[in-house]
Structure 1
């Protein structure tokens, strides 16, 4: 079945190795080393680090600079054309959700009905719902005033309340499209988006439970911190006196998810590709169309529902784009780096090695993502690089199995966030923790999400 991002996968056809396997491995390690040093030591922007890393891979492998730049440009362009558009649409919708007060409506409705004992579970649910359409960083900034308020009112540690919300946000970011990492992996491996989305939610639920409320209760005993008064005066308020209703907000958030899932189900149960009902859902469930519909619907259900004027809605939608410009460039540059790896034949060599070694593709995908995540600190770079290296290993696999490989990559990309990850410092500063406290809470939570996600994927692999 077609994922709707197959043009990314078409660009990732494996090439014959341009050099010996040892030299290709050396070029790959050198490229990763350059990226790590430039991002973590020199503090260069990841966009530039990925360009220099790609050049290093190609040159060490024996390719000319012109050839490397051509590969990089091809990968950059195809990724920007596919994933970049989706990131932009997602950012517009997220801004509408935040500025209209819709996100606050979801939070207040769910939290208001939870008993003190159930608060961590409710916070996980809030984090997961907010995390569906939003990037982790945006969701965290949005939720922090609520986390502070809930912690103070309940008398619970900020960690006990906050970790479950972070688990919901992070798991959705790693496992569920339309987030950039899963979307990119889906495109490279030509996985079915609807199937991956459904399985991603299935994997995310138990991992959020383990890494959120259950671990949060333990972490709250290790690290006891109170909520600061940072947002007391600046807590986001409704626009005017109106908010979109909870039902309208939830409908808006889940609409693109429902359209993409609907496409997957129709493709499974209706084999005739020319059947009119299937053709309608194949169109509506295409990621770009689904998110475009969500933005248009959100303008009315969220923007108008909050009493925003036409000018306010226009300004709101426009203001969602600048913050994600850097993300789009990083993701696209990761696509360029991926294409250089593919064109040098490193993926082919790895595929041949893995086939001879009889290593589980799911485990290999997870390990590669873990290693790159630890080295670069970027879940997105880890997802892009790991998925590009295993393109040849998914040949002949069923639709469900390819989706599980995508989710294994996503699980690996979450592993042990530490000092070279921007998310680490975001949590560190918002929760006012020491580096040691951040490792004992946030870093371990991310590792639990990663490992439990792999376990769930392996269990699903037994029945799919």
Structure 2
């Protein structure tokens, strides 16, 4: 690899990592700075460099920005309306007594598709605690099962922002990514349950007395058994949630319908179908249109009777605010990728990496793993891996869907102190120190390892 282009890549990536880790700036600014550094060192003229950045940013958001925003809005309505609680109670009934951990894993896996896993854990944690008390299950087992289920689909299945952004950056068919990511998640669920059942009981005796005392303390609100820790709706965290005002069936509709429409578009596009069917699915199965349909259904089907317009608009406004930074980071990733392609750094890297003793489809996996450990965010790790590997994927002829799966799988690795979800899971459970690492860092690392054979099988199929 030419020395100047190698220096451009190394310094650009170093700028991204340094700004994210050691400055007051975030990943959005870090990726833009990385694009600038890479272009300057590679010798791209200033006017062309700015054009490449704006073109990459705009082209990426044209394909994915609307979809991310709509997906987050659906999740917010599901969260605020009680739909997440309804799904959780449905899975508990379906799993049956003695399989509460399986129920919580399945619940987390479904809820985390539209709802951020941090929020999902806070919403569903009261139910996990009540199940542990009612059926005598170790609390760590039930919490691990819930956290693992939330994490699996958060990392693997669109419209979660990371996989959604990777599909756009790598030009993968979104319907194919949804199907493949869902298959990965289903196959990883038994790993979650097994780890929770094996490791959870060993950690139950190591619950931090100070954290347990804090969770069990009286605060003058709830009487005996009150924890003093409240959820966003003012409910004590130790209380079992009341029956949700929305049914599980209704909660499923705005979640599953857009996914089915998107997958339907993929299937009809690959089959010989009448033109009217193909054209219909091409419109309603377009990701933006499908999620818009899902949002409209969610807004009018899920909120309890009597919910006023101002309240629902407030939910959507809050969702737009939380989605904004993810949209910006995704666009900045597209800008960085465009600079890599136009400057020649991407092609040079592809030529250099082709000689490595690593299969090309694992390059996004390796990049995502390093970025995840370095800065903690799985979403940023996925976007960065998709950005850096896009030229390699294109040059080597790697299937885009396989490349997305690879980047998403790599981002699961070793969640620890620099990951906000680590603190949500361990603090709400009542573990700290080495026990917290065994609980959650161990779980994510085992899941990360479990994806490797799945990626190998996918590579044999997606050629």
Match of 2:267? 265
Displacement after TM superposition at 1:307 (Å): 4.3
Q: Deviations over 1:55-101 (max 9, x none)?
A: 22223333355443332222222333332222211121112112211
Displacement after TM superposition at 1:113 (Å): 4.8
Q: Deviations over 1:213-233 (max 9, x none)?
A: 111112213422387332486
Match of 1:404? 402
Structure 2 residue 5 is the aligned partner of structure 1 residue 24: yes
Equivalent pair of 1:124/1:168 in contact (CA under 8 Å): yes
SS in 1 for 2:307: coil
Q: Partners of 1:240 and 1:395 in 2: how far apart?
A: 51
Gaps of 5+ in 2: 216-226
Structure 2 residue 31 is the aligned partner of structure 1 residue 50: yes
Q: Partners of 1:289 and 1:317 in 2: how far apart?
A: 17
Equivalent pair of 1:239/1:308 in contact (CA under 8 Å): no
Displacement after TM superposition at 1:271 (Å): 6.2
SS in 2 for 1:462: helix
Which 10-residue stretch deviates more, 433-442 or 252-261?
433-442
Q: Partners of 1:64 and 1:427 in 2: how far apart?
A: 48
Q: Partners of 1:83 and 1:306 in 2: how far apart?
A: 33
Equivalence map 1:382-461=2 (5 Å): 382-395=381-394, 401-461=399-459
Equivalent pair of 1:101/1:238 in contact (CA under 8 Å): no
Change (3 A) 1:68 1:238: farther
Match of 1:170? 151
Change (3 A) 1:424 1:241: closer
Equivalent pair of 2:163/2:404 in contact (CA under 8 Å): yes
Q: 2:183 aligns with which of 202, 212, 227?
A: 202
Equivalence map 1:267-282=2 (5 Å): 267-270=269-272, 275-282=275-282
Structure 2 residue 175 is the aligned partner of structure 1 residue 156: no
Equivalent pair of 1:35/1:376 in contact (CA under 8 Å): no
Change (3 A) 1:102 1:57: same
Displacement after TM superposition at 1:107 (Å): 1.2
Q: Partners of 1:146 and 1:132 in 2: how far apart?
A: 19
Equivalent pair of 1:260/1:287 in contact (CA under 8 Å): yes
Equivalence map 1:219-258=2 (5 Å): 219-224=199-204, 225=207, 228=215, 229=227, 230-231=229-230, 234-235=235-236, 243-258=245-260
Displacement after TM superposition at 1:148 (Å): 2.9
Q: Partners of 1:435 and 1:80 in 2: how far apart?
A: 41
Match of 1:217? 197
Q: 2:82 aligns with which of 82, 101, 104?
A: 101
Change (3 A) 1:439 1:283: same
Equivalent pair of 2:86/2:243 in contact (CA under 8 Å): no
Match of 1:4? none
Match of 2:283? 283
Which 10-residue stretch deviates more, 159-168 or 305-314?
305-314
TM-score (norm 2): 0.86
Q: Deviations over 1:299-334 (max 9, x none)?
A: 22212x554233433333233222222222222222
Change (3 A) 1:25 1:430: farther
Change (3 A) 1:283 1:199: same
Change (3 A) 1:263 1:398: farther
Equivalent pair of 1:239/1:306 in contact (CA under 8 Å): no
Displacement after TM superposition at 1:169 (Å): 1.5
Equivalent pair of 1:331/1:380 in contact (CA under 8 Å): no
TM-score (norm 1): 0.86
Change (3 A) 1:141 1:57: farther
Equivalent pair of 1:27/1:57 in contact (CA under 8 Å): yes
Equivalent pair of 1:100/1:238 in contact (CA under 8 Å): no
SS in 2 for 1:331: helix
Equivalent pair of 2:86/2:244 in contact (CA under 8 Å): no
Change (3 A) 1:438 1:53: farther
Match of 1:146? 127
Q: Partners of 2:386 and 2:26 in 1: how far apart?
A: 22
Structure 2 residue 57 is the aligned partner of structure 1 residue 83: no
SS in 1 for 2:62: helix
Match of 2:161? 180
Q: Partners of 2:36 and 2:264 in 1: how far apart?
A: 42
SS in 1 for 2:99: helix
Equivalent pair of 1:140/1:166 in contact (CA under 8 Å): yes
Change (3 A) 1:167 1:276: same
Equivalent pair of 1:97/1:103 in contact (CA under 8 Å): yes
* Aligned positions, number: 440
Displacement after TM superposition at 1:371 (Å): 1.8
Match of 1:294? 294
Equivalent pair of 2:126/2:241 in contact (CA under 8 Å): no
